Amino acid sequence: MSKSINILDQDYLKWIKELSTRYRRSQIKAAVKVNQEMLRFYWDLGRDIVEMHIEERWGEGVIKTLSADLQKLNPTAHCFSRTNLYYVKKFYLIYSSYTTKIPQLGGQMENVPQLEGQITQQVVENPGNAITPQVVEQIKRDIMAIGWGHHKLLIDKFPKEPQKALFYVHQTVLNGWSRNMLLNFLDSDFYERQGKALTNFSRTLPDETSDLAQELTKDPYDFAFTGITGPYNERLLKDKLLNNITLFLVELGTGFAYVGKEYRLQVGEREQFIDLLFYNLNLSCYVVIEVKIGKFEFADVGQLGGYVVSCNHILRKEGRDNPTIGLLICKEKDRIQAQYALESSSQPIGISEYELEKFYPEKVEGTIPTIEEIEAKLTETLLNEEKDGNV
């Protein structure tokens, strides 16, 4: 029996490493291909169910019969349960209004350009029949790029709100969210917060970048991950943000890279220290972030504008970097004051608020009991049990 040889030659070791990398890439490509083929099958099946009007034609119980017949013909398949067939039907219904401009779903998908800023803007602001053919093709590409589990979460959450579902589909593709990450953002009102900062970008940035810059903002930002529940100052908040830098970058959005905290700039004869400095790879620009724990003041925009100009003169490389953007994140703002301050500045600046508690929808009366209601119910139960002799 031959023995394996321990080869330490560097060329051999490099080759083995390259083979392993290529194998993993091929596995990923195969998994993506399988997922796309399955989603195309689901799409076609959902279209048949809807366009053939099978429930009207053969009765309301036809889905159950269809499930049994398909499982009988395909005993090793696990995708033909009655529940999954209902998801397949909803899968077609929820997205079809945005994909009817070009009949063949998935056709020419490999050559479609990335249209990041246009996707969110057109899907959110326009009905399905008002978006451009290029965006329709990108939507189809996105639908095929995420897992079936992601789609089921979105179908459950937005059964009659396709624009919201498609927004999260695109964000999932853009950010590579897992199902758990998607679920987290669904719970944080991400759709309602995205792109909502007060800014002057449309006036201070070129047309080709202003929409994308606006899309990258939020209002409010969710800083619940810092775990702050008691008194705090600005230094503590910034330290907590950077101690959880991965979550901070996720909350900031796509393409942000951390550069430094209290970043030193020599401006004339004085040193200036920027709270937080980032670089956004999608916009190819520096982003200066100032965090204020109090209420917005006019002077905040003047200070931030000075930092933005300083970055343009000292850090920005002509021909490589676009103009620096400033983002002020404060605990509270008066929208009119903030708007006036933005109008006074010639620098691209956005103003948002932050929250330290996780976002939850308002309570619907009678759905989630209060502590008092729980205590009252427990007391009532104990009294009844004592009366009945069960205690």
pTM of the model: 0.70
pLDDT tens series, the chain, 391 aa: 555 556 667 776 777 678 777 877 777 777 778 888 999 999 999 999 999 999 999 888 899 999 999 999 898 888 999 999 999 999 999 998 887 643 444 433 333 334 444 555 555 555 544 567 777 888 888 999 999 999 999 999 999 999 899 999 998 988 888 898 899 889 888 888 989 999 999 999 998 889 889 988 999 999 999 999 889 999 999 999 999 998 899 899 888 999 999 999 999 999 999 999 999 998 999 999 999 999 999 999 999 999 999 999 999 998 999 999 999 999 999 999 999 999 999 999 999 999 997 554 444 344 455 555 555 555 565 555 554 444 4
What backbone torsions phi and psi does residue 366 show, to the nearest 5 degrees?
90, -5
**pLDDT of the residue at 101:** 46
Cα pseudo-dihedral 160, 162, 167, 169, rounded to 10: 100
Please give the domain boundaries of the chain with CATH numbers for all domains.
21-187 (no CATH), 198-355 (3.40.1350.10), 365-391 (no CATH)
Q: Which DSSP symbol is given to 80?
A: -
Token pair for 203: 């006036």
Token pair for 143: 């639908």
Asked whether the beta carbons of 306 and 268 are under 8 A apart, the reply is: no
Long-range contacts from 169-178, C-beta under 8 angstroms, 24+ separation: 169/139, 169/142, 169/143, 170/116, 170/119, 170/120, 170/123, 170/139, 170/142, 172/146, 173/142, 173/145, 173/146, 174/116, 174/254, 175/250, 175/253, 175/254, 177/150
What ranges make up the beta strands (E) of the chain? Answer: 198-199, 221-222, 256-267, 270-280, 285-295, 325-332, 349-355
**pLDDT of the residue at 363:** 41
**pLDDT of the residue at 377:** 57
3 state SS of 274: strand
Strand partners, 263: 274
Q: Which helix (H) or strand (E) segment is 337 a member of? A: helix 335-344
Task: Count CB-CB contacts under 10 A for residue 312.
Answer: 17
**pLDDT of the residue at 63:** 92
The Cα angle at residue 156 between residues 81 and 178, in degrees rounded to 5 = 90
Q: DSSP alpha helices (H): ranges in 176-233? A: 179-186, 190-193, 201-204, 207-215
